[in-house]
Amino acid sequence: MKPLFEIRRVPHVLFVLLTLVLLQGCFWESDDPAPTPDANPTGYYKQGTLTNSAGTVIDSAFQAIVYNGHLMMMSVANGLLYDGNMVITGNSFTTTAVAYTNGVKEASVAITGNINAGSEITGDITGRGSFTLTYAQSNSQTAAVLNIVKIWASHVGGSTGPEIFENTIASDGSMNDRNNTMNGNFNGCRLINGTITRIIGTNLFTVSAPLSSCADSQANDGDYTGLATSEYPYTTLVFMMTKEDSSYGMNGNFTVVL
């Protein structure tokens, strides 16, 4: 027969071993790195570079507007517009964006990149090249419709010559055209009863614009939505919007007429 003290010792040893195992598990969990919070890229980006697949810079004034994960990028010099919704994980993102050339849908492209919030966005466009976008100082300003109550003009959709698209913005945020283009992919298009609305807490606007009477009416008439911004002293309106079915997109750096 075993002594009484040996019978009591066995469960005590087991208890100590079990406690050590549990403590090791706790220490392991506390050593795990905390997950990186998802970056917030909202804002206007300017003075970026767009590089083609050969590594040649094709635009040193590449621009973008991001709001609530909606990414719109444009190269005015190359007639390009990209529109997609970002899937953000930590400081990186992916998106499948629709690419437009001179206003017409060209293809859907995959984009992957990284976000340095409040500084820059970098990314690769599959099969097309890469880009860097610089966070604009104007993001510290606050959007107000009264700052852009003017007549704005820009070539759109590959239009050329003296006939350019003119858009009037009123104090209530309503938008109506004053002149339409006579060539390009938005030849003859009218913008009537559109709206531009400030996004509170940013220097950005949302835009909604019905286009009608286009020469190619079966294709590019329709409702367009997008994003815009303007920097002090408010002489340029950065404007990007796409049709609801993603078949067409209108964009430009609109300058003040009056």
Using only C-alpha atoms, the chain has a radius of gyration, in whole angstroms, of 27
Percentage with pLDDT > 70 across the chain: 88
Q: Residues 26-54: what's their mean pLDDT?
A: 84
Could you tell me which residues are beta bridge partners of residue 116? 120
Give the Cβ contact number of residue 167 at 10 Å. Answer: 26
Per residue in 155-170, pLDDT (tens digit) is: 999 999 988 999 999 9
Could you tell me which residues are beta bridge partners of residue 112? 94, 124
Q: Evaluate whether 223 touches 244 at the Cβ level (below 8 Å).
A: yes
Per residue in 207-237, pLDDT (tens digit) is: 999 999 999 887 899 999 999 999 999 999 9
Q: Evaluate whether 92 touches 13 at the Cβ level (below 8 Å).
A: no
Q: Computed from CA positions of residues 101, 79, 99, 226, in that sequence, does the dihedral angle turn out positive or negative?
A: negative
- Residue 196 pLDDT > 80, yes or no? yes
The pLDDT assigned to 29 comes to: 52
